[in-house]
Structure formats: structure tokens, C-alpha cells
Structure 1
Amino acid sequence: MDVAGASCRSEASWKEMSKEELETQYTPSSWVIRRGAEETLRTYSQIGNEATKRAQATRGSLLHIPYGHREGERLDIYFPEEESEALPFFVFFHGGYWQSGSKDSSAFMVSPLTAKGVAVVVVAYDIAPKGTLDQMVDQVTQSVAFVQKRYPCNEGIYLCGHSAGAHLAAMMLLANWTKHGVTPNLKGFLLISGIYDLEPIVHTSQNAALLMSVEDAQRNSPQRHLEVALTQPVDPACHILVIVGQHDTPEYHRQSREFYQTLHRGGWKASFEELDDVDHFEIIWNLTQKDYVLTQMILKTIFQES
């Protein structure tokens, strides 16, 4: 879907919203359509837990592998039946507004992706209040470097994040890989229902645990960095999909479109997709289904690149 020529600037700026409106815009559970907010969050957790238990019971795996020295720096790797170091690796960062969620309930996509020959890595990071945004970005960077070092013959690393996890994945476009002694073989990014400018969050209740200053938010906003620097892609063939659900909030839509437009202007191979009839939570929990449009989009991205 090409929206490169579209302008989002005519939409009301978040700075002009009332405190109550801003709060609603950045509360995705307020916009669900098939269930109430509480039931949606329970269902999201239940599906994630069941998918993770099923993956651990039916797939070869390496669990709780340390990628750094801190207690929270762990990841799980799930393998297809034919194990090989020369596999595509799909690396997933969970959402939860940087203050909830866990790798232990986020293996939604493991069964359908491993069935097609993709290794799946689900990453933990220190959520707030234990971790700061700066620490989380550094941890995610470490995890990607770890996968590359452990599997140097990989057929491509594909980074995916949902919500806050999409923000962390997007920050990898700005990573200083030299500092980590490796250049990962990044072939694709799948950014699902993400936030790319964190400054609005400073003015919502979500910041109570994060304790972000405006400066913290700006430093950790890929939208702002790419607008200013227009960082050139290391690999012009690396495909970035910016994805949002039809029933995500208008602010999530605006942020996703503006981030896509910035990538497009910067010369990245980027595309924007709005998935029909899903909300902020269904868009990710449906990845348990092999025929789901996003599951197929992921597989198409991986296998046409590798």
C-alpha cells in the first residue's frame, strides 16, 4: 500500500488534544471492537501463554539463553524440524508499553513459522520500572548482535516487534553495530502497531512507570532521528513493513503512516499495510494461524529475500 504522497499534517496535532483525549488515543484497549478492554487483555494473555506452551512442547528449542550479563537478558530460540545454522531467523520483541509482557507468553508465531523452516527467537528485556528506555534499546541491540554471532551463517535476520516492541525493533535502524563488534545480516523489519515518536507518551499515565523526560523520549524516538538524519540504509534491499490494524487508535495510525513516509523519503525499501478488521491485540494473537494474512506476509517477506 503506497501512501508516500499522503499528508498527515492536516490531522490534529497531539499537542492540541486535551489530556483526556490524549490518554484515550494512547490506550489501545479502549478501541477494541469485539470484546471489552478487560476481556481483550485476558484473551491476549491466554492465547500467548497457550501458544508458548505449545511451542515448547512441540518444537526443538533453546530456552532462557543469556545474551547479556543482566538477569533479564534472556531469549528463547525455536527451531524447525530440519535444524541448521543456515536458517532465516525471525526475532520478536513483545509489546506491553515497555512495562508489561514477557517472552514467556509471546511465542504466538512459532508454530506456523517453524513449520515453514524459519527459526524464531523471542527476546526478553528489562521492562519498567526496572529498566529504562535507554537500557531496553541497548538490550535489544545486544540480543540481535548475539543471534548474529551465534549463527553467523544465517540466511537473514528479520526483526519484528508489536506495539512497544515495534518501537524497539525500529530503533535497530539506528544501532551502532560497530560498538557490538558485528554487523547483523538484517534482511527485513516487520513493525506492527508501533509507536515511533515517544513524546506524547510523556503526557499520559503510561509514563508513571517509565519516568521519561521529554529529552528521554526524543532520544529514543526513531521518527525524530530519521527525520533529521535521513539515515541511509546499510542494505537498500532490506525491506521494512510498517503495519497497523484497522481498529488501532487514530494516533497509532498517524504515527505508523508518518514513520513509513519518513522511511520512504530516506530511501529505505518500505511499505505500509493496514490490516482489515483487527484491533491492536488481534493483529498479533492471530499469528497463531498459518493462513492469517500477516503470517503469510511474514513468510513472503522472508522467502522472497532469502
Structure 2
Amino acid sequence: MSVLAEETSWPREVLDRDYGARGSVTAEVFEAAMGDYRSRSKEMRDHATHLDVVYDEQSGQTIDIYGTGGEARPVFVFIHGGYWRMLSKHDSAFMAAMLAKQGIATAVVDYRLAPEASLDEIVREVRAAIGFLWKNGRSFGIDPERIYVGGSSAGGHLTGTVLSGGWHAGEGVPEDVIKGALPISGLFHLAPISKSFVQDWIRLDEAAIARLSPAANLPGVGCPIVVAFADGEPDGFRRQSTEYDRLWRDAGFASELMEIPGRNHFDVLLDLASEDTILSKALVRLING
């Protein structure tokens, strides 16, 4: 039994601590990171090439696209975090300029939030975004054969759900539609989450845990991934990333586990705004390599 399976028998207060990202930093550090997310993304929004593109008629959810022009470019699809109930694409575009310099487009995804939307619906929407880009990407300057995906925290979980197997036929995309991925501080086993404070709004039953846990639904066709986390992470996020990297490699797929020094659960993501960081270099290498 893995330690993540054992976690479900741990006391609630231990799980709340180990998955309490907000509690791992001061209020000032958290608010500063949120402010940076929004202000840096607003700066990028002025340079977007396509805003508010509806990718899913059923939900009306949209994506913003940055850094296209000329020949079709590879795209990094970013999925925001916020424990499935916070944030939006307006907080999530700060990597666009860095990637544009490397000839890489960015697509930032909005999805409906919990508890109004179930996690099943959130996952469906994010997968629909991938399907939309594969079918329509060329109209926006995107090469559908070079789709890469990443996200932080809950966005790392959603990254895992588009890496998972079993959904591609429903969206009319090939099993290898994703060519590489960067889940950051992700959640891949949902059983421990369902025993923590997050259950108050995510409301998972056993069937949903099995269906929506990326670690339990590895694909038949895997792509190279970089699994990253901050050295200041709460212990639960560290365990989740380490276990997902192991499972990916055990399945015969390429994975690199990367601990980012001097960063916490929130500011680690801001490293993607600069071309000189370990994290941004790993992402560019993943896409261009």
C-alpha cells in the first residue's frame, strides 16, 4: 500500500494541515502572490491575440490565446488552480510573454468553479478545451500536433485528467493529443482530499474518486512530463508529486521530478514569468526539445 492510500486513515487534522496550502505561508505572502498573478496577467492581456474564445458551447466557457502570428506555433495550455473553486484565466497568463519569445503560444483556460460545478463537469470542460484546440487550433495560429499542457495545484490535477486515458474518443481527439505536460504542485490521488476540508465543496464519492484520480487512470499512450513542486510545499503536495512521477515512470513513460528551491506553493508558479528560472527552462525544453 502506498503512503497516499494510507493517508485516508489519517486524522482529519493531519490531512487538513498537509493539504492546507494557505496555511503554509503568511497572509501577506499569499496576498502578494495573488496580486502578482492578477497584475502580471493583466499586462499580458493587452497583448493577447484572441480573447474570450468560446471552446465549449454547453457551458459557454472560454479561453484566451497569446503569442500567435505567422506559422502555426506549439501551444502551452495553462489550467489555473485555486482548489477548483477560485481564480480564473484573468489570473493565469503571466507566462505568455516568456513563451512568445521562444515561438510558443499560450492558451489560458477558464472553467466553471465548485461547488456550483461538480468536479466531473470541471474535468469535462477542460477536456473539451483540449478537443477544441485540436480541432480548431489552426484558425488561431496554433499547431494542433504540438499541444502541451500544465497547471498548478488543482490545475495540476486537471492537467493529470487530460493526461489520463479513456476520454479521447468522446472528444474526437487522438490518444496522443497531448505531447508533454508540466503539472506543478498537483493532486493526483483524490481519496486523501475527500477526507480533508476540501470535501466541504468538492463533494466526492468513491466512484468519483476512482474516476477522476489521474494516478488511477494512467493512459495507454504517455508523453514526457515534468512533475514540479516547491521546496516549501505542504507535505501532502510533495507526496502526491513524488508518487505520480513514480507511477508515470513505472508505466514506461518519461518523467522528470523537479523540486524548485526557495519557493512556496504559490510563488513557484510565478517562475514561469521569467526565462531565467529552472521551471521556465524546463518548460521550454519540454516543448522545444
What TM-score, normalized by structure 1, do the two folds share?
0.87
User: Aligned residue for 2:39?
Assistant: 50
Displacement after TM superposition at 1:147 (Å)? 0.8
Displacement after TM superposition at 1:42 (Å)? 1.4
- Pick one of 185, 189, 194 that aligns with 1:202: 194
User: Aligned residue for 1:66?
Assistant: 54
SS of alignment partner, residue 125 of structure 1: coil
Q: Unpaired runs of 5+ in structure 1?
A: 1-7
In the alignment of these two chains, the number of paired residues is 283
User: Aligned residue for 1:294?
Assistant: 279
User: Aligned residue for 1:4?
Assistant: none
Preserved contact between residue 148 and residue 182 of structure 1 (Cα < 8 Å): yes
The range that moved more, 94-103 or 217-226, is 217-226
Give, as a single letter, the amino acid of the residue that structure 1 aligns with 2:160. Answer: A
Q: What is the alpha-carbon root mean square deviation over aligned residues?
A: 2.0
Give, as a single letter, the amino acid of the residue that structure 2 aligns with 1:91. Answer: V
User: Aligned residue for 2:120?
Assistant: 134
User: Aligned residue for 2:92?
Assistant: 106
Displacement after TM superposition at 1:76 (Å)? 0.4
- Pick one of 126, 151, 155 that aligns with 1:161: 151
Deviation digits for residues 158-189 of structure 1 (CA, Å, limit 9, x no counterpart): 10011101111111122422222232642111
CA distance in 2, matches of 1:286, 1:98: 22
CA distance in 1, matches of 2:36, 2:51: 19
SS of alignment partner, residue 217 of structure 2: helix
CA distance in 1, matches of 2:273, 2:184: 15
Deviation digits for residues 108-166 of structure 1 (CA, Å, limit 9, x no counterpart): 21111112211100000111012111111111111011111112544511100111011
Does 1:217 find its partner at 2:209? Answer: yes
> CA 1:175–1:149 in structure 2 vs 1: closer, same or farther (change >3 Å)?
same
User: Aligned residue for 2:70?
Assistant: 84
Preserved contact between residue 8 and residue 195 of structure 2 (Cα < 8 Å): no
Preserved contact between residue 93 and residue 162 of structure 1 (Cα < 8 Å): yes
User: Aligned residue for 2:167?
Assistant: 176
Preserved contact between residue 4 and residue 189 of structure 2 (Cα < 8 Å): no
Give, as a single letter, the amino acid of the residue that structure 2 aligns with 1:129. Answer: P
Does 1:39 find its partner at 2:25? Answer: no
Does 1:22 find its partner at 2:15? Answer: yes
> CA 1:158–1:12 in structure 2 vs 1: closer, same or farther (change >3 Å)?
closer
User: Aligned residue for 1:118?
Assistant: 104
CA distance in 2, matches of 1:199, 1:101: 24
User: Aligned residue for 1:191?
Assistant: 183
> CA 1:104–1:84 in structure 2 vs 1: closer, same or farther (change >3 Å)?
same
Does 1:251 find its partner at 2:242? Answer: no
Preserved contact between residue 141 and residue 175 of structure 1 (Cα < 8 Å): no
User: Aligned residue for 1:283?
Assistant: 268
CA distance in 2, matches of 1:60, 1:211: 36
Preserved contact between residue 134 and residue 145 of structure 2 (Cα < 8 Å): no
CA distance in 1, matches of 2:188, 2:269: 18
Displacement after TM superposition at 1:214 (Å)? 2.8
Give, as a single letter, the amino acid of the residue that structure 2 aligns with 1:200. Answer: P
Give, as a single letter, the amino acid of the residue that structure 1 aligns with 2:114. Answer: A
Give, as a single letter, the amino acid of the residue that structure 2 aligns with 1:96. Answer: G
Calculate percent identity across the aligned residue pairs.
30
What TM-score, normalized by structure 2, do the two folds share?
0.91
User: Aligned residue for 2:79?
Assistant: 93
Displacement after TM superposition at 1:48 (Å)? 1.2
> CA 1:10–1:21 in structure 2 vs 1: closer, same or farther (change >3 Å)?
closer
Give, as a single letter, the amino acid of the residue that structure 2 aligns with 1:268. Answer: F
Displacement after TM superposition at 1:276 (Å)? 1.2
Does 1:273 find its partner at 2:258? Answer: yes
User: Aligned residue for 1:242?
Assistant: 227
Deviation digits for residues 230-259 of structure 1 (CA, Å, limit 9, x no counterpart): x4225xxx2111111111111111111111
Give, as a single letter, the amino acid of the residue that structure 1 aligns with 2:161. Answer: M
Give, as a single letter, the amino acid of the residue that structure 1 aligns with 2:95. Answer: M
> CA 1:135–1:208 in structure 2 vs 1: closer, same or farther (change >3 Å)?
same
